[in-house]
Structure 1
Amino acid sequence: MAISLDRLVGFHHKALQIRSDKMEVIAGNLANANTPGYKARDINFQQAMKSAQYGQTKLTTTHEKHIEASKQSQFDIDFRIPDQPDTGDGNTVDVQKERNAFLETGMRYQSGLTLLSGKFSGMKKALSSGGQ
């Protein structure tokens, strides 16, 4: 019987990729918290998972000098709708909200890694005892 790694961990691997990209976007928001006119961005996790499950990618290269898709997020990055009124400089970053989002995404990322580690441990155990 063939073992399909994609069936075993594909969903969780895609979720980790999205969460990693989301943390990069949030870190960019935090880095630009004092930049006038900067608009906070975000990745919608549910939409990104739907796109990832159906194999849709955002970037394709048609010339050898184009940026490779792996160097940019392959998921749609949208502007975050601000919860606070404009402070006058046009910046929409809410530092507390960004920190909380970063921590939550980081915890979910760590949980995903733990889950994947358990899946691989189970597979390793099954393979090592399969010949007996």
Structure 2
Amino acid sequence: MDLFSGTLKVLGQSLDAAAAKNNVISANIANVDTPNYKAKDVTFKNMLQNASIDEFQAKRTNSKHLSFDDEMNTYKIVEKNNTSYNHNGNNVDIDREMAELGKNQIYYQSLVERMNGKFRDLETVLKGGN
């Protein structure tokens, strides 16, 4: 029996992706002055990251198509190799990274609040509505 129709699983995957993005942004900021360092970013494989995977039924006609199985990671870390902002080959834009860090922190906190709400709902049911 799935208490929340996969919602907790999707929220958990989104939290994992947000935590990974925070780690990548932190590494980019830490390497802002490192020669030839190339910034990294987290991209989401699943564009509908807030939707439940169970809602989709897809037929794979080619082995290269993405599956909708339960073990699929929701994110991928990629390196940005096509730019260079500094004379030393580094492509970290500190202003962009700080803005992304703030945005990601707000996103992470909203996911935590939503998950807490799901647990509060469960607690209310277990207490008999009181």
Give the TM-score taking structure 1 as reference length. Answer: 0.72
Alpha-carbon deviation of 1:127? 1.7
In the comparison of the two structures, how many residue pairs are matched?
113
Could you list the per-position Cα deviations for residues 32-66 of structure 1 after superposition, in whole angstroms to 9, with x for gaps in the alignment?
00000000001113548588x63235xxxxxxxxx
- In structure 1, list runs of 5 or more residues that go unmatched: 58-73
Aligned to 2:58: none
Alpha-carbon deviation of 1:8? 3.7
What amino acid sits opposite 1:90 in the alignment?
A: G
Alpha-carbon deviation of 1:89? 0.5
Aligned to 2:120: 121
Identity %: 25
Task: Kindly report the root-mean-square deviation, in angstroms, between the aligned alpha carbons of the 2 structures.
Answer: 2.9
Alignment of 1:50-69 (within 5 A): 54=69, 55-56=71-72
Alignment of 1:1-132 (within 5 A): 2-4=1-3, 7-47=6-46, 49=49, 54=69, 55-56=71-72, 75-80=75-80, 86-129=85-128
- In structure 2, list runs of 5 or more residues that go unmatched: 54-65
What amino acid sits opposite 1:94 in the alignment?
A: D
Query: SS of 1:76's equivalent?
Result: strand
Query: SS of 1:38's equivalent?
Result: coil
Give the TM-score taking structure 2 as reference length. Answer: 0.73
Could you list the per-position Cα deviations for residues 70-103 of structure 1 after superposition, in whole angstroms to 9, with x for gaps in the alignment?
xxxx9421113667x5322100000000000011
Change (3 A) 1:29 1:9: same
For 2:21 and 2:116, the matched residues in 1 are separated by 21
